[in-house]
């Protein structure tokens, strides 16, 4: 992975796409957000509401694209990620 992805942004894209693309698409965020639902202490109220999991994933992903995907292409590029604070916010 580190031979192809030389910085945090490229590694993030590589992990979410399983190394298949150099940009992110809507569905690439599903597993990450489902993991957040299952592990984040502030989201425990969603654990028992399984019927809302996919709706939550969709809303969060839409917000990510609204903020980060400034080209409105439906693809988040490494350049767009680097130009946002998305990764820094997620590290906290």
Catalogue all structural domains in the chain, each as residue range(s) with its CATH number. 8-91 (1.10.238.220)
Task: Give the tens place of pLDDT for each residue, 4-40.
Answer: 778 999 999 999 999 999 999 999 999 999 999 999 9
Q: Which residues lie closer than 8 Å to 15 by C-beta, 6 or more apart? A: 1
Contact at 8 Å (CB) between 61 and 26?
Answer: yes
Distance linking the first and last C-alpha atoms of the chain: 24
Note the pTM of the prediction, 2 decimals.
Answer: 0.88
């Amino acid at each position: 992975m580190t031979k192809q992805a030389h910085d945090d942004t490229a590694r993030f894209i590589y992990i979410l796409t399983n190394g298949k693309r150099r940009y992110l698409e809507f569905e690439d965020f599903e597993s990450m957000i489902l993991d957040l639902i299952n592990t984040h202490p502030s989201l425990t109220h969603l654990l028992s509401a399984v019927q809302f999991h996919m709706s939550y994933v969709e809303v969060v992903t839409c917000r990510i694209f609204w903020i980060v995907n400034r080209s409105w292409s439906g693809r988040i590029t490494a350049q767009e990620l680097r130009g946002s604070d998305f990764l820094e916010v997620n590290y906290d």
